[in-house]
Each structure stands twice: as structure tokens, then as C-alpha cells.
Homo-oligomer: A and B are copies of this chain.
Amino acid sequence: MLKVIAQDFIRPEHIATVLPLYRELVEKTRQEPLCLSYELFVDQKDPGHFTFIETWPDRAALDTHCATEHFQRLVPQIDRHQSQPGQFLLMDVLPGTEWCPADHTPAQAEAEA
């Protein structure tokens, strides 16, 4: 399992321009068969700082995503409004800390406490 954090920095005057592009990118990417999760967040201190948190089965699945029509069409349109280059971080889960939501619901934690 591959976790990706991808950060974009958009010039303030172009935030309104990129929002519909981001929304389409999220919608289309989530329809990819290999996409396990794809979320987009905004920095509470900087409305032009966008962060994707993505989960893919492996690097090949990420490469397939980057080759899709929607990625190839939308990302260059977004990137032309960057204030600085994007940052990408590819990560593995720390062994021994794998997340299993079914085992760690808050309600269950309360019941066990």
C-alpha cells in the first residue's frame, strides 16, 4: 500500500480558477478502479495551499493515475497557476502500525476503556 501526500501552492488571485479543476480531478480520480482513497484539503492558514492525501495499492497504480486523460488534461491547467513548485511525498505505513478502522472505532475504544 502506497500513501501519497501531494502539495500544491496556488497564487491567491487564481484560487477561484483552480477550484473547479480540482473538484473535477477528485471526482474523476475516485472513479479509477485502482484508487483506494483520494482526498483534498486546504491549509487553515493559507487558502492557496492545497494538499492531496492519496492511497494506492502500489506505485504502478499511481503511475496509471498520472497517465489518465483527466490527470493529463487537468493538472497542467492547475499548475500554470502555481506560486511555487508542488511537493510530493511517497510513503509506506510504519510496520506494526497498520490502520484497521474496524478494530479502532472511537465507540469501541470507549467500551474498552
Total residues of chain A contacting the partner, CB 8 A: 42
Query: In the complex the two chains form, is A31's CB within 8 Å of B89's CB?
Result: no
Residue from B19, B27, B38, B91 in contact with A51 in the complex, judged by beta carbons closer than 8 Å: B91
CA distance A110 to B32 in the complex (A): 8
Q: Would you give 20 A-B contacts (Cβ < 8 Å), ordered by A?
A: A3-B39, A3-B53, A5-B53, A19-B94, A19-B96, A22-B97, A23-B94, A30-B104, A32-B106, A35-B106, A37-B99, A39-B99, A41-B92, A41-B94, A43-B89, A43-B90, A44-B92, A45-B90, A51-B91, A53-B53
**A contact set with B: CB distance below 8 Å:** 3, 5, 19, 22-23, 26-27, 30-45, 50-51, 53, 89-94, 96-97, 99, 101, 104, 106, 109-110, 112-113
